Structure 1
């Protein structure tokens, strides 16, 4: 058969369904619109997203950006078929990072890539992204959905996100020049491992011979998969008022590396965080992981957040009022340590 007699090929023949992509855009547009906030200009469909910082209320703004993914926690979504929580994780990992610089998350864009768009999966993931944006007060202004045949096994996808935030210049964190010996470290609870340490989590589950659809050994009325897919907490709405009050000198988002590696990131070289590990009790998920995996305590604290998702550095004179404001917001904050001379 010569070249002229070969049947014509289309993009659909190559495995890419443009119509499916268009249907997805139609399905997610109401989700994105529901996250609109002051400053957003226009809607989905342009080549770029516009945002008016003046309309958002900033006078001398500094832009802060962050990007992240969900890591191997995605493997639990694939194995359980639960796809509506990892989008929350995606937003949280980005939004909490820019919050640590004092910034309000303003808008978010996602990247969803898969071998073949499967009915309901992308919509569930993006519904989670929209929920994460709602919880953090930022707008979902766009993203990219890529259908790439042959790149991913059936049912698998990759997920990444990008957030832009803003903070007025005089509120940028950390304020290292204002930090001093004796400053108090206040911890705010996590919801579990968040999105870190899941390669170790999965190894422990496999070695124990457990199934994600079976009962959770550390929580009631949930399967193991549901419990481990508990999404990352978003801290912006509770912490931004404290930042704007001027009482917070530094913030640490406790991600990979745990308290051990993340709290020093907000400190000047002259100071080190002294964490009192007896000041709180790690939630049951961490107790189970340590016991089942035989993980040493230092390794646990270097891998997981151990129940503390965000740490605030404040003056001893402000500690009581910050604790009171967090309690009024429904939190159970703990003094987890202090800053000491290096």
Structure 2
């Protein structure tokens, strides 16, 4: 049975482009439970796909024209050509599907012209990977429509190339992996060195908990310089320490590393090394004791991102601290940092208290009111019709 939202998207596609789409695909945003800035260091991450998605209705054209339209804003139809896509030239949300087309072309895949209509309820700029949701929905559609036959691992790498080389954001593979490989009721334990995945049960509701997302409304972008400078510090640290990636540095190596690195680079390295260890501990605790046991690790992760990696901000700190002070068992910023969202693992009985306290704290600080909502682990990318 076709969902009402899907039927509506098909109708809007018909109204915009004068025909029915060849199909509708969706891909979710993600929350990273723990493991921040470890992915491009070939480390460990533990995200999950969320119950908020980007949906694309797509119809193949007989020519090389690309027409793109979204259901939000007043941008109108953006037109491009499959033969003339160049990195760094696309604007706004269109750079994500165009980047996917370009990346597939670099793999030798012949991508036809197409009409694409986007609809999404993944909050923009909140650190929930709205951009990767668009990319993963687009690549799922194009993989089907071109008969490319790519598996999830290849689609992950193709979207990473779109993000890195077309969009210009030096991101790793975590976000795409969660969106493409997610499973309902599970977090995705990903080894970013070999792309191996283990699905780890994360059923907060069964443990009497909810996972609150607190969107601070401080927008961020991975294409800005802060992300790139952190990545450069990590690469410098690995080079000085003589390892392929910071994945190869253990907590026991940190004392020696402190004598080899400047203070800032050492703190960046220390975050990645300890964060990898926290991911492994979280996976172990989830398997042995369940979600109620991981609060202290979430708190330690936030402190490390605030103090060692320096990617938090006053609004994220206030969200995490206020949540913790009002009943959350653990809270941390999630995503690339410099804005975006925090998460708070909270007993269901304390949810309203946490919500009320955070809203009040933001108002008292003179900050924009946050958007607060719950998320649950959801299925990964799929074709709807």
TM-score by length of 1: 0.26
Computing the radius of gyration over CA atoms, which structure comes out larger, 1 or 2?
1
TM-score, normalised via structure 2 length? 0.24
* Greater RCO, 1 or 2 (C-alpha within 8 Å, sep 6+): 2
